[in-house]
A = this chain, B = another copy of it.
Amino acid sequence: MAVREPRGRGGRRPTLEQVAERAGVGRGTVSRVINGSPRVSDRTRALVEAAVAELGYVPNTAARALAADRTDAIALVVPEPERRFFAEPYFSEIIQGVGQALAETEVQLLLTFAGGHKERRRLAQYLGAQRVDGVLLVSVHAGDPLPDLVDQLGVPAVISGRRSADERLPSVDSDNFGGGRAAVEHLVERGRRTIALITGPLDVYGARRRHEGCLAALEAAGRAADPELVAAGDFTEEGGRRAMAELLARRPDLDAVFAGSDVMAGGARLVLREAGRRIPQDVALVGYDDSVIARHMEPTLTSVRQPIAEMGREMTRLLLDEIAHRSADRPASATGERRQLVLATELVVRDSS
């Protein structure tokens, strides 16, 4: 007759204590071996490792977290209200990168959905309740209070994309300036004379940098920046349509368009087609993001690729670094380490230009 275990499922797992007994050593020694302390003799270490293997011992996360005040978990905070965030491959790729960086460690990834303002406040509380060792914040809005809230709570955090030129928090960004510049340089090289620009919302730092890159490329090519050739979009397809219609009305002679996102480029394409302009013969079109849309558009869309998976990877590394430093009582922020990363973008040339 099977004896019923006190509680829980599938029988109790072995504890540190049991491993210690089996190896004929003390609890502290086993703990030292498990945690890779150098202060253990080789003989003892081998003994303990054998016992661990025999018993199939796995440390209890909860107990460790409670005793050591460290969870070996980080959270990726997802701004859920934005469906856009899910629709674009951005999300998947970021997670892919995070997963890769985490694979080399014992750290777990927690997904947290931050909805409205109250939920964000609740989230902040939870973060304070030692649920995770650090936080990855993606797709942060300019005026979002969350990053600073998290920072004040003393929770290590890394954000994707700087919110401004003088970002204080550790961050990983892609080279928006270089990306915008490369797109326009490409159009110039292709012999395009009248290049129109559809920008993203300019209060978003990344969108503004893209635009500044475009302007720099134009200037380098000896062309004056023409306000008639610039229209602001809002990263939506509809916004791209509106901007394109506007530009076409003002300057029917344009022969190239750079849109600050693929989605806006998609909207622009529809307007161009309706106006009877052929792509790329009459008008060259370049987008930004190198999203799925770009590869499946007709014609396929030239676009600027951001290394999103790599951003996820670097964000994670930065965060793990910060966590390690803080637990060693010397925040990386105080060691003058580089905590702002900017990764290169790449122009992917396809049929639309």
Closest CB of chain B to A311's CB: distance in Å? 15
User: In the docked arrangement, what's the CA distance between A36 and B16, Å?
Assistant: 34
Interface membership of A277, Cβ < 8 A: no
| Residues in chain B near residue A39, CB distance under 8 A | none
With known contacts A109-B110, A296-B296, A96–B86 Cβ distance under 8 A: yes
CA distance A63 to B126 in the complex (A): 14
Say yes or no for A165: interface residue by CB 8 A criterion.
no
* A193: Cβ under 8 A from any B Cβ: no
Q: Given the complex, which residues of B lie within 8 Å of A129, measured CB to CB?
A: 13, 58-61
A4-12, A178-186, A341-349: which one contacts chain B?
A4-12
CB proximity to B under 8 Å, residues A121-175: 125-126, 128-131, 153-155
Instruction: Pick from A111-119, A212-220, A223-231 the stretch touching chain B.
Output: A111-119
- Among the interface residues A69, A71, A125, which one has the most CB atoms of the partner chain B within 10 A? A69
Q: Encode A57-90 as 1/0 by CB contact (under 8 A) with B.
A: 0111111011001010100101010000011010
* A75 CB, nearest partner CB in chain B, Å: 9
Q: Are A58 and B113 in contact (CB under 8 A)?
A: no
Contact between A131 and B113, CB atoms less than 8 A apart:
no
Q: How many residues of chain A are within 8 Å of chain B by beta carbon?
A: 53
Tell me the minimal C-beta distance from A316 to chain B in angstroms.
12
Complex Cα–Cα for A318 and B80 (A): 23
A130→B126 CA distance, assembly (Å): 20
How many monomers of this protein are in the complex? 2
- Contact indicator A111/B86 (Cβ below 8 Å): no
The interface residues of chain B lying within 8 Å CB-to-CB of A102 are 113
B contact residues around A96 at 8 Å (CB): 86
Partner of A111, one of B65, B89, B111, B130: B111
Which residues does chain B contribute within 8 Å of A110, judged by CB atoms?
73, 108-111
Spell out A's residues near B (CB within 8 Å): 7-10, 13, 56, 58-63, 65-66, 69, 71, 73, 76, 78, 80, 86-87, 89, 91-93, 95-96, 99, 102-103, 108-113, 115, 125-126, 128-131, 153-155, 292-293, 296-298, 326
Interchain CB contact (< 8 A) of A293 among B13, B153, B296: B296
Verify A10–B154 contact, CB threshold 8 A.
yes
**Contact (Cβ within 8 A) A103 B113:** yes
15 examples of A-B residue contacts, CB within 8 angstroms: A8-B69, A56-B125, A58-B128, A58-B129, A60-B66, A60-B129, A61-B129, A61-B130, A86-B92, A87-B92, A99-B113, A103-B113, A109-B110, A111-B111, A296-B297
In the assembled complex, the CB of A106 is this many whole angstroms from the nearest CB of chain B, namely 9
CB–CB B69/A66 < 8 A? no
User: Which B-chain residue is minimally distant from A83 (CB atoms)?
Assistant: B96
Q: A128 vs B8: C-alpha distance in the bound complex, in angstroms?
A: 11
